[in-house]
Amino acid sequence: MSFSFIAEQLKQQKAQHLHRRSVQVTGKQGRFIEVDGNSFVNFSSNDYLGLASEPALINAWKRGGDLFGIGSGGSYLVTGYNQVHHDVTEQLKSWLNVDAIALFNSGYSANQAIIKLLLRKDDLLVQDKLNHASLMEAGIYSQAKMQRFKHNDMAHLGNILKQHIQTDNKLIISEGVFSMDGDIAPMTELCSLAKQNNAWLMIDDAHGIGVLGENGQGSVAQANQSQQDIDIYMATFGKALGVGGALIAGSTELIDYINNFSKPYVYSTGLPPAMVYCIGEAAKLAEQQQWRRDHLAGLINYFKHLSGQYDIPLMPSNSAIQPILMGSSKQALDISVWLKKQGIWTTAIRPPTVPNNTARLRVTLTTNHHKSDILLLVTKLKQAIDANSH
């Protein structure tokens, strides 16, 4: 029978406790979410600054619709590049201190587009072993030679680069904040190695923009590095900024090259102008409202302190992403289900998203949370882990 592997692989997923399905959430993103008529404290959202349901942004989206309409009507190179796309791009350039920006519909699309665009048969792509699936998949399908360096291991990265000193085009890619581990890349060392080895450096800052650095400028600013040290900077608007879409920033020449030769950019309908107007307003709030980052930092410290007292097996992270290592997929799934029965929504992350035997609960903290939510979470986590270990 044609495509019989579909049923076989789905059966295997279920047997290995790896099967996934979409969950229908009712209402808005926020401190609580509603699923199947039940309310849960939400510890699985990437809405780090609590902007996804911010009334000012809801009104901004409505105003954007009134001013610019809903759909963009075409690709950016036809009729889809509205005045608002230009204005918000200029605003983002000023905020992030970058030379030029191209807008994309998603971070996944942006990551795949840049690898597909730049790398050819005799080029070298070097990626952190824990980079996002969008980067890894594009690297696998690329004609370039791809090598992976051990997570945040600069010695290993240096050795790989030395072995390819004669290669003309070399691209290093790392996440700024790693999406499943929550730890931060050694930005200064990455910049230094790239410069020493005549390589380009790309940073995927999907989980850093808005949260880290002065005025929320991201993981590069957090490390006191200049954006000019980063050849390609990718960031998304759907996490800390609470909206959607993504950007690639770099030199004026790079963005001009994207405009002319990147098929995912050239042939995709542009982001809706009302949405782009909302992105601009979200960026203003992220830049100006330091209290959101301060409150989030306080909650992260409180969670780590309580988890230490309760012997919760936290992985090392100082970001809003706080993974709790379970090991087996079954244990992670069982504890996630038990916590949902206690009114707490946490997500079990299992292979292939993470390496084998490192299944975890991915707890994410946001500005919307209260200290009482943190105490409830840690208390129930302790109960679940103790019960599961017997």
Q: Kindly list the catalytic residues.
A: 46, 132, 175, 179, 204, 207, 239
Cis peptide before 323 (omega within 30 of 0): no
The upper half-sphere exposure of residue 292, i.e. CA atoms within 13 Å in the direction of its Cβ, equals: 26
Residue type, 265: Y
- The two beta strands, 321-327 and 359-364, are antiparallel
Q: How many CA atoms lie within 13 A of 289 on its CB side?
A: 18
